[in-house]
Structure 1
Amino acid sequence: MALFDWHAERSAYTPLDIEAPATGASPIDLVAVRRYRLGRVREQMRRLGIGALILSDPVNIRYATGARNMQVFSARNAPARYCLVTERRVILFEFTGCEHLARGLETIDEIRPAHTASFVAAGPLIAERERSWAREMAALIVAEVGPGVPVGMERMNAGSALALAAEGFPLVDAQQPLELARCIKSAEEVKCAEASLRATEAGVAALREAIHPGITENALWSVLHQAIIERDGDYCETRLLSSGERTNPWFQETGNKPLEANELVALDTDVVGCHGYYSDFSRTFHVGPARPSAEQRELYRLAHEQVHHNMAIIAPGLSFREYAERAWDIPPRFHANRYYLSAHGVGMTGEYPYLYHRADFPDAGYDGVIQPGMTLCVESYIGAEDGREGVKLEEQLLVTETGTRLLSRFPFEEALMSP
C-alpha cells in the first residue's frame, strides 16, 4: 500500500490510502478516487480534441490530481499554482516553497515551482513575465504533445492567454471538459461526499443546539465553521445564515444582528468539507420558546413540499427540459422571490448541470439528460415579496441506475411541519 501525504487530501491522519470515513462505514480508496477523476478529465479531453489543459482553479487542480494547497488563497491569487494535464503526463507547478506537499501522489508525474505571472509578483514587468511564462509553457506542450494543439485554459491573466496564443496554440475554455468530467461520480467519490455530509451534519447539529435569543448571526455561524475545521473539512464557501426579517429576501449573509425570540433562522451550508467534497443542504429553524406561528409553518410546509415533489420526479434519462416542465408550481405570491435554480449539480463545489424553473427555462435554461452518477441538490426558498420571513430548504441526492438515493440526512423540524 502506498504511503499518503495528508497535505494532499485527508480527513484523518492515517498513513494509508484506504480510509474509513466513520465507524461502520465502508473504507474509501482514495487512490481509486484520484485515478478515476484524472481518467474522467482525459476522457473529456479526447472527446473534445484538446491536447493539453492548464488548470489554475484550485478545485479543478484538486479534482484532477488530489493536490491541495491554500485553496482560498490560490483561488484569489491565480495563477499562484497551476497544473498541466496531457494524455501522457501531469506536471504540477506548485507555489514557491510548497513543492513537497504533493509528493507521492500517483496522479502527478513531476512537480516544478510555479512561474507566477501576476502583477503583484512582477509589478510593471508583468507583460514580460507573461511572455516568459508562455514561452516556458509552449516549449513544454510541444515536448509533451506537439506544436499547435488546442489548449484549454481557465482563470488566468488575459495577458498570459494572449501570450500563449501568440506561441501558436489555439485556446479553448477549460470549463466544458472539467464540468463534464466532474458531473459523473464514481462509487468511491460518493463515499467522499457522504463523509463530508456526515461531518457537516454534525456541525449543523451543534449550530442548532446553540440557537437562543441574543446570540448573533455571526457567532452562530462560527459554530459550524469550528465543527467543520475540527473534522478536517476545508471551509464554508459562503456565509448564508440569516434570521427574522433578514431571511426575506434570501442571500443576506450573516451579520451582527442578535437572534430574537420566536423568529426563523435559515442557513445554506455551502461547505467544502472532507476530501474537498461539497456538502450542500439547507435548513430553517425556529428560535422559540413559543410555538411557530401559522405563517411560519405554512412557509415551511410549502418549501418542504417543493423539495420533495422535485426530488420525486428526478430519474435517470429525464431531460432537463422535462424536469422543468414537471417541477413544482411556485404559487404566484412567492414567485418573485423564488430561488434562482430549481436544482443543481454538486461535487467538489456546485457544478453542472443547472436545472431551472419552468418560468425561467426559456431565457436561462439549456437541455441535457440526467444521468446515473450525478449528484444533485434540490432547492427551495419560499418567501413572499411583501412577507416578513422566508424558509430555505435543500437536499442532496445521488442519481442511480434506477432512481435516486438521498445523501443528506439532517432531519426537518417537526415543530415547523406540524399543523
Structure 2
Amino acid sequence: SNMHIWIMHNPSRAVFVSADGYVVLWDFHRCSHLSTYLPLINETRDGGAGFYYFVAGDQEEAVAKDFAGQIDELLRRSGGKNRRLAVDKIEIPGLRALDAVGIEVCNGMQLMEHARAIKGIDEINAMRCSLATCEIAVAKMRERLQPGIAETELWSVLHAENIARGGEWIETRILTSGPRTNPWMQEAGPRRIVSGDLVAFDTDMVGPYGMCADFSRTWHCGDGRPTEAQRRLHDIAYEHVAANMAMLKPGVSFTELTQRSHKLPADFVKQRYGVMMHGIGLCDEYPAILYPEDFIPGAFDYVLEPGMTLCVEAYIGAVGGREVVKLEEQVLVTESGVENLTRCPFDEALV
C-alpha cells in the first residue's frame, strides 16, 4: 500500500477530491507508476506535496505556496465561488499557504472518520482476510509460548506471520507477561516468561489489504493450573466483553451504550481501559465509546448503523495487583444485531 509508515512521518503525498468526484494525487517523487492501477484517480502529479523540512529545508514556505496555488486552481475549477476545503492532515506551512490564498479550511477529519465508519462488502471481506491472517499468526504464537521464551521473541512471531501472508505492519508492541502486565501499555521487552505467568497482548495488526485486525487475548503459561485469582480476572473480562457486545444493534445510540454498559467491579474502575469500544478499519477509528467516568457530553451523539465495525474491550486489573487480563473482540454491526468476526479461541485453562 505504498510505504505507509514512511509517509506518516514524511508527509509527501496528498489527494484532492472534488465534489464532483475528480481526484488528483500528488505522489512521492517519481512514484506515479505506483498508482496506475487505481481507476478512481483521474490525475497524478509528481511531487509537490512535501513541504516539510527534511525535503524542503528553508524553502518550506515557497513549496507550500506552490502547492496551495495548485489547490486554489483546482478549487476554482470544480467549486466555482465555493472557497471551502476540508483538510484532514496538513503541515503548518501548508495551512498558512491555503489561508493566504483565501481558502476557507474546514475540519476534514470529522468528514473522513464518518465516511469510513460504514464498511462496504469489499472492506468487510478484506477485514475478514486480515483477521484470518492474524488468527493464524496468534495460533503460532500459542505454539511457541513456553517458560523461558522472551516477550519480544514471542511477539516477533506475529510480525513474521503477518508479513509472510502479505500483511503490512503492527501499530504497537503490546505483549507483556506476569508483573509487567500491570499497569497496562508497557511494550514487549526482554523479560523471560515464567511458568504460571499470565501473558496478555493486543494484536493491533494491519494485515493484508491494509485492514486492521485488532483483538486481545490473555494466556496462562505452563502446564500448571491457573490460580483462582487469575481465573477471576479472566471471568470478569469475558463477562464484560460479552455483556457489552450483546447491546450492539442498529439504532442504539453511543450514549446509551455508555449508560447501559456492564459495570466494572469497584476494584477495577480506576485502571479501566481508555475506551469501552472503538471503531476499526484501516486502523482505530471513530467512534470512541467511552466509560461513564470518561463520558464527554455532545462528543458522539450518533447511533449504530449496519456495516459499522467495532472492537469491544476489557482490561481487568487492580491497582497494585500482580497481573491483569486483557480481552478484546472485533465485531460487525449487522441489520439485526452483531456478528463476532473474531474466531481466535480463549485460553481454556482460564475460561
Secondary structure of the corresponding residue to residue 76 of structure 2: helix
Any idea what the Cα deviations from partners look like across 1:47-106, whole Å, max 9, x if unmatched?
xxxxxxxxxxxxxxxxxxxxx21000011111x111111124111111112110110211
8 Å Cα contact 2:177/2:199 also seen in 1: yes
Task: Assess, with a 3 A threshold, how the Cα gap between structure 1 residues 364 and 258 changes in structure 2: closer, same or farther.
Answer: farther
Of 62, 78, 88, the match for 1:154 = 88
Calculate the TM-score normalised by the size of structure 2. Answer: 0.96
Offset of 1:166 from its aligned partner? Answer: 1.2
Of 226, 231, 237, the match for 1:297 = 231
Of 73, 93, 113, the match for 2:26 = 93
Structure 1 letter corresponding to 2:308: M
Of 212, 220, 226, the match for 2:160 = 226
8 Å Cα contact 1:356/1:364 also seen in 2: no
Calculate the TM-score normalised by the size of structure 1. Answer: 0.81
Offset of 1:157 from its aligned partner? Answer: 1.1
Offset of 1:290 from its aligned partner? Answer: 1.2
8 Å Cα contact 2:287/2:300 also seen in 1: no
Offset of 1:365 from its aligned partner? Answer: 5.5
**Structure 1 residue 392 and structure 2 residue 326: aligned?**
yes
8 Å Cα contact 1:272/1:279 also seen in 2: yes
Structure 1 CA distance for aligned equivalents of residues 71 and 270 of structure 2: 49
- What's 1:142 paired with? 76
Offset of 1:121 from its aligned partner? Answer: 1.0
Of 316, 325, 334, the match for 2:268 = 334
Of 17, 35, 45, the match for 1:112 = 45
Question: Greater CA deviation, 184-193 or 383-392?
Answer: 184-193
8 Å Cα contact 1:374/1:399 also seen in 2: yes
**Structure 1 residue 240 and structure 2 residue 174: aligned?**
yes
RMSD: 1.3
8 Å Cα contact 2:89/2:109 also seen in 1: no
Secondary structure of the corresponding residue to residue 177 of structure 1: helix
Any idea what the Cα deviations from partners look like across 1:122-153, whole Å, max 9, x if unmatched?
21122222212212221232233334421111
Question: Greater CA deviation, 390-399 or 282-291?
Answer: 282-291
Secondary structure of the corresponding residue to residue 266 of structure 1: strand
8 Å Cα contact 1:355/1:365 also seen in 2: no
8 Å Cα contact 2:17/2:23 also seen in 1: yes
Aligned counterparts, 1:254-403, within 5 A: 254-362=188-296, 366-403=300-337
Structure 1 CA distance for aligned equivalents of residues 176 and 298 of structure 2: 28
Any idea what the Cα deviations from partners look like across 1:143-171, whole Å, max 9, x if unmatched?
33334421111222111111111111100
**Structure 1 residue 169 and structure 2 residue 103: aligned?**
yes
Of 131, 140, 152, the match for 2:65 = 131
Secondary structure of the corresponding residue to residue 416 of structure 1: coil
Offset of 1:315 from its aligned partner? Answer: 1.3
Offset of 1:260 from its aligned partner? Answer: 1.2
Task: Assess, with a 3 A threshold, how the Cα gap between structure 1 residues 255 and 364 changes in structure 2: closer, same or farther.
Answer: farther
Structure 2 CA distance for aligned equivalents of residues 155 and 316 of structure 1: 31
Structure 1 letter corresponding to 2:326: K
8 Å Cα contact 1:148/1:168 also seen in 2: no
Structure 2 CA distance for aligned equivalents of residues 131 and 75 of structure 1: 22
Structure 2 CA distance for aligned equivalents of residues 85 and 170 of structure 1: 16
Structure 2 letter corresponding to 1:73: W
8 Å Cα contact 1:180/1:352 also seen in 2: yes
Secondary structure of the corresponding residue to residue 129 of structure 2: helix
Secondary structure of the corresponding residue to residue 323 of structure 1: helix
Question: What count of residue pairs does the alignment treat as equivalent?
Answer: 349
Task: Assess, with a 3 A threshold, how the Cα gap between structure 1 residues 366 and 255 changes in structure 2: closer, same or farther.
Answer: same
Any idea what the Cα deviations from partners look like across 1:148-196, whole Å, max 9, x if unmatched?
4211112221111111111111001111111111000112221111011
Secondary structure of the corresponding residue to residue 349 of structure 2: helix
Structure 1 CA distance for aligned equivalents of residues 297 and 317 of structure 2: 23
Structure 1 letter corresponding to 2:32: E
Structure 2 letter corresponding to 1:263: D
Structure 2 letter corresponding to 1:118: Y
Task: Assess, with a 3 A threshold, how the Cα gap between structure 1 residues 381 and 325 changes in structure 2: closer, same or farther.
Answer: same
Question: Which runs of 5 or more structure 1 residues have no equivalent in the other structure?
Answer: 1-67
Offset of 1:362 from its aligned partner? Answer: 4.8
Task: Assess, with a 3 A threshold, how the Cα gap between structure 1 residues 177 and 250 changes in structure 2: closer, same or farther.
Answer: same
**Structure 1 residue 186 and structure 2 residue 186: aligned?**
no
Secondary structure of the corresponding residue to residue 313 of structure 1: coil
Structure 2 CA distance for aligned equivalents of residues 403 and 144 of structure 1: 41
Structure 1 CA distance for aligned equivalents of residues 342 and 85 of structure 2: 38
Of 119, 130, 142, the match for 1:196 = 130
Structure 2 CA distance for aligned equivalents of residues 393 and 168 of structure 1: 49
